[in-house]
């Protein structure tokens, strides 16, 4: 999550921070439009001693969570689709903020997930960005949606797995917090596991404080040996929730290319932090770097084998996902701008022997063969016919 933390820090440095005590101040979206009306709900960090929520949920009342959440999902789809949407409803401010920042791409970069994150057998509804931030989380109580928490840039949550969320927050330029929180057993609230925050000492320097209550009060916390640099270098583990984009099944990003994933030769492997797959490391091996300008899912490397030709001369291939070597090879569940993929392989002759596939932001399966240009030797992506279930390259392939 280090890239997310860096983005968050940059955002804080760019913002005018005049709030205190966890209250929000007016802010503007990147395009200069006013953000949603601000509210002052207080920083959503539980204090030690708070009474744990009473488990009033009955699994029998939540047998169809898709139906129970359907109205809420459609409301959020409408919010994300319209940057001028106006709302003061609890749970919607962070979604509005993120949607306005994304502009026309919001329906492709934001989505939802209905899944049991607390482990109580009743699915939660998560709303947020495909890059990781959870803007709102709901659970079902007596068969009806109940808001658990909401997040925005100055008070945000990123899922870590096993019902845990990593928190990033700020009260002012000098007061920044990070911590681990987990869903209560019944999924209706958050409890603090560990919390770090910064504050100015009498000399005007930043100190880091620690507690397990979520309090921002230095008097109720222990001074940490951690420096401010250590604080911002924290890199908690976690992957984005597999959200379904609000775009549904149509189109691609409004401001991005038709094919979000591109490829180039990787000359210096150590210069890029990325997931790595090694298919061939012998003589003549080439290292390729795959990047994307918008989130895609199910990125897969394929082994191709020419099997036949159509009557029109198009080449038919068998396409088999490569088997990853455990502990050495890895692919991200959701490939984003910040999670490129490197593949080391060998080109054998002029007939493509490797390819890739992924699901784009519109929910469409895209498949490509890796080919080398006969002009300058550059690596290219040639798309297989999207209207065919077989992997068929319409272009000419040498027999």
DSSP string, 149-200: EE-BTTEEEEEEETTEEEEEEESSSS-EEEEEEEE-TTSS-EEEEEEEEEEE
Q: Which residue has the higher pLDDT, 283 or 140?
A: 140
DSSP state of 124: E
Q: How confident is the model at residue 176 (pLDDT cuts 50, 70, 90)?
A: very high
Q: How confident is the model at residue 173 (pLDDT cuts 50, 70, 90)?
A: confident
Q: Which of 353, 239, 360 is nearest to 298 (CA)?
A: 360
pLDDT at 15 over 50: no
Q: What is the mean pLDDT of residues 53-67?
A: 56
Q: What is the mean pLDDT of residues 300-314?
A: 91
pLDDT at 383 over 50: yes
Q: How confident is the model at residue 109 (pLDDT cuts 50, 70, 90)?
A: confident
> Between the CA of residue 92 and those of 97, 137, 154, what are the distances in Å?
9, 10, 15
Please write the tens of the pLDDT for every residue from 244-288: 888 863 333 333 446 789 999 887 555 567 888 999 888 888 899
pLDDT of amino acid 132: 80
Beta bridge partners of 128: 111, 134
How many whole angstroms separate alpha carbon 122 and alpha carbon 221? 35
Kindly tell me the sign of the dihedral angle through the C-alpha atoms of 329, 334, 339, 345: positive
pLDDT at 38 over 60: no
pLDDT of amino acid 158: 92
> What backbone torsions phi and psi does residue 201 show, to the nearest 5 degrees?
-90, -175
> Between the CA of residue 102 and those of 98, 113, 137, what are the distances in Å?
6, 19, 20
Token pair for 354: 């490797």
Q: What is the mean pLDDT of residues 366-385?
A: 85
Token pair for 266: 């990787």
Q: Which of 235, 225, 171 is nearest to 199 (CA)?
A: 171
How many whole angstroms separate alpha carbon 305 and alpha carbon 285? 19
pLDDT at 14 over 60: no
13-27, 80-94, 283-297, 365-379, range with the lowest pLDDT: 13-27
pLDDT at 3 over 60: no
Q: How confident is the model at residue 131 (pLDDT cuts 50, 70, 90)?
A: confident
pLDDT at 7 over 50: no
Tell me if residue 340 falls in helix, strand or coil. Answer: coil
Tell me if residue 287 falls in helix, strand or coil. Answer: strand
56-60, 76-80, 244-248, 351-355, range with the lowest pLDDT: 56-60
Look up the pTM and report it: 0.54
Runs of H (alpha helix) within the chain: 2-14, 65-81, 93-102, 106-109, 228-232
Residue 176, judged by CB atoms within 10 A of its CB (0-12, 13-18, 19+), counts as buried
How many whole angstroms separate alpha carbon 162 and alpha carbon 241? 12
pLDDT of amino acid 190: 94
């Amino acid at each position: 999550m280090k890239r997310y933390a860096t983005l968050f820090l940059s955002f804080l440095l760019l913002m005018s921070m005049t709030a205190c005590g966890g209250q929000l101040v007016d802010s503007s979206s990147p395009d200069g439009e006013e953000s949603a009306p601000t509210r002052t709900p207080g920083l959503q960090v539980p204090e030690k001693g708070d009474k744990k929520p009473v488990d009033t949920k009955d699994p029998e009342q939540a047998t169809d969570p898709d139906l129970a959440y359907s109205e809420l999902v459609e409301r959020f789809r409408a919010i994300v689709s319209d940057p001028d949407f106006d709302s003061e409803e609890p749970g919607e401010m962070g979604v509005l903020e993120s949607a306005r920042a994304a502009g026309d791409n919001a329906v492709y970069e934001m989505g939802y997930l209905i899944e049991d994150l607390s482990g109580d057998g009743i699915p939660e509804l998560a709303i947020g960005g495909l890059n990781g931030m959870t803007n709102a989380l709901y659970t079902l109580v007596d068969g009806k949606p109940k808001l658990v928490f909401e997040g925005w840039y100055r008070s945000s949550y990123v899922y870590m797995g096993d019902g845990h969320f990593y928190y990033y927050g700020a009260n002012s330029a000098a007061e920044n917090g990070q911590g681990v929180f987990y869903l209560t057993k019944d999924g209706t609230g958050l409890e603090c596991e560990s919390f770090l925050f910064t504050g100015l000492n009498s000399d005007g320097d930043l100190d880091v404080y620690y507690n397990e209550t979520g309090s921002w009060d230095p008097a109720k916390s222990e001074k940490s040996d951690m420096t401010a640099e250590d604080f911002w270098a924290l890199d908690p583990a976690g992957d984005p929730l597999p959200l379904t984009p609000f775009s549904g099944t149509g189109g691609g990003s409004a401001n991005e290319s038709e094919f979000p994933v591109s490829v180039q030769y990787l000359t210096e492997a150590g210069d890029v932090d990325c997931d790595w797959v090694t298919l061939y490391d012998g003589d003549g091996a080439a290292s390729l770097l795959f990047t994307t300008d918008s989130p895609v899912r199910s990125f897969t490397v394929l082994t191709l084998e020419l099997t036949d030709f159509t009557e029109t001369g198009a080449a038919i291939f068998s396409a088999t996902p490569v088997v990853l070597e455990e502990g050495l090879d890895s692919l991200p569940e959701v490939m984003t701008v910040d999670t490129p993929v490197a593949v080391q392989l060998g080109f054998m002759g002029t007939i493509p022997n490797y390819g890739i596939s992924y699901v784009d932001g519109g929910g469409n399966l895209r498949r490509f063969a890796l080919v080398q240009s006969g002009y300058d030797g550059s690596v290219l992506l040639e798309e297989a016919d999207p209207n065919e279930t077989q992997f068929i390259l319409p272009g000419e392939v040498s027999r």
